[in-house]
Amino acid sequence: MQVDLRILRYDPERDAAPHWESYSVDAAPRDRVLNLLQSVKDAQDGTLTFRRSCAHGICGSDAMLINGRNRLACKIRVEQLGRKVSVAPIGGLPVVKDLVVEMEGFFEKYRTVMPYFVNDTPTPTRERRQTAEDRERYDDTTKCILCAACTTSCPSFWAQPSYIGPAAIVQAHRFIFDSRDTAADERLEILADDEGVWRCRTTFNCVTACPREINVTGAILEVTRAIVGRHG
Ligand code: FES
């Protein structure tokens, strides 16, 4: 089938502003949008720029705004979209070129929530034990691949780019509710800041955008309740 592919192009060295360009691409129904982009790059315009790495929904490199919704280009199939496909960069982050956005600000916020295991008590002779229920408590948020689809679909983030954003809160949640970790209070303190969880307006865009089907808004609300419980 022929797919009418529109891509929001922008080369800061050449263009005054982003503009749409159209390409006709031969595709099979089960091809991914990433295949379409690669086909354009290989056969029509080698300057087209986008990120990808694993091509299997694991690394989180290729989140894009596809037919109006944030998705991974390597996961969404042509048959799910139809013959007309539009692709633009994820919103709210500076565009470096075409579909590549500057992610440093995003990762800077991620780093502020201490996204690593903390436990300074003496190391036990065997592993730090945890019940199945304890493990289940944060299972959902372990699925995050830091693709930024949630944060860049969030109206609160668009309106206030200093908002720490859903992805960083999801990463904090993964450790806050881990029974073996001892730094929950520090993380809750960070997220109780003006730029923390209070900026969430529960629009649920993040839930719709997450390619791993994490209940992002639910995680934010759990963190919010933990902050309130701590001060209450
Ligand atoms: S390229 Fe790795 S998630 Fe799509």
Give the pLDDT of the chain (232 residues) as one tens digit per residue: 999 999 999 999 999 999 999 999 999 999 999 999 999 999 999 999 999 999 999 999 999 999 999 999 999 999 999 999 999 999 999 999 999 999 999 999 999 999 999 999 999 999 999 999 999 999 999 999 999 999 999 999 999 999 999 999 999 999 999 999 999 999 999 999 999 999 999 999 999 999 999 999 999 999 999 999 986 5
How far is the centre of ligand 1, averaged over its atoms, from the C-alpha of 219 (Å)?
23
For 140, the enclosing helix (H) or strand (E) is none
Q: Please work out whether the CB of residue 66 comes within 6 Å of at least one atom of ligand 1.
A: no
Q: Which atom of ligand 1 is nearest to the CA of 63?
A: 4
- The residue whose CA has the least distance to atom 1 of ligand 1 is 55
Interatomic CA distance for residues 92 and 90, integer angstroms: 7
Q: Please work out whether the CB of residue 35 comes within 6 Å of at least one atom of ligand 1.
A: no
For 173, the enclosing helix (H) or strand (E) is helix 166-176
How far is the centre of ligand 1, averaged over its atoms, from the C-alpha of 75 (Å)?
8
How far is the centre of ligand 1, averaged over its atoms, from the C-alpha of 230 (Å)?
38
For 11, the enclosing helix (H) or strand (E) is none
Instruction: Report the relative pairing of strands 69-72 and 63-66 from DSSP bridges.
Output: antiparallel
pTM of the predicted protein model: 0.95
